[in-house]
Amino acid sequence: MSDLYHLAYLSQSTLGDNQVFIRNEVEQILAAAKRNNPPRNVTGALLYSGGYFCQLLEGPASEVEHLFEVIMSDDRHQGVEILFFDPAPDRYFGAWAMAFAGYDERPPFKIMGVKASQDDIHARALGRNLVDAMSRLVEAREQGRKH
Ligand SMILES: Cc1cc2nc3c(=O)[nH]c(=O)nc-3n(C[C@H](O)[C@H](O)[C@H](O)COP(=O)(O)O)c2cc1C
């Protein structure tokens, strides 16, 4: 049986609103992911949007859990809320150590809605929409690079 899990969470950035500082910190996060995720067989995507992070981690359950614990204790964000942690048939971002979906001043997604949701099934559905949106954003960034 394959041991592939998807974990998605939302968190609030503690990086403030200096765009240069934010970009620099995000670069360092992505550099850490490039260094650490491939040996753990973890892939995924990260979005910074309107003061929130949204991240999908995909890989073996134990590796995803271990990495998530490290990430949770990082003081560059707070209020981490898991959207889902489920077995999955495939990877969305198999080609990336950590795909970057981009920066956005305003949250383009219903992040507050997801966070406000007390309903687990509803939160999951919105979480999956976020992951789909990240996937499209990553694709758009890749297209942009080719032109
Ligand atoms: C939103 C967010 C996402 C992160 N994602 C990853 C990740 O995918 N992989 C990773 O190794 N570190 C990630 N980090 C950084 C870790 O918390 C930690 O700083 C890093 O793993 C330490 O790496 P090092 O032991 O190689 O110095 C993330 C941090 C934040 C705030």
pLDDT in single tens digits along all 147 residues of the chain: 579 999 999 999 999 999 999 999 999 999 999 999 999 999 999 999 888 999 999 999 999 999 999 999 999 999 998 989 999 999 999 999 999 988 876 655 556 555 556 677 777 777 788 888 888 888 888 888 776
Instruction: Write the CB contacts of 97 (distance below 8 Å, at least 6 apart in sequence).
Output: 33, 34, 37, 38, 42, 43
Ligand 1, pocket-test mutation among 14, 36, 96, most atoms within 8 A of CB: 36
> Which residue owns the Cα nearest ligand 1 atom 7?
33
pTM across the whole model:
0.90
Alpha helices in 2-119 (DSSP H): 19-40, 61-72, 111-116
Q: How far is the CA of 112 from the centre of ligand 1 (A)?
A: 24
**Domain spanning 5-146 has what CATH number?**
3.30.70.100
For the chain, the domains span: 5-146
Using the 8-state DSSP alphabet, how is residue 69 labeled? Answer: H
Provide the 8-state DSSP code for 89. S
Amino acid at the residue 144: G
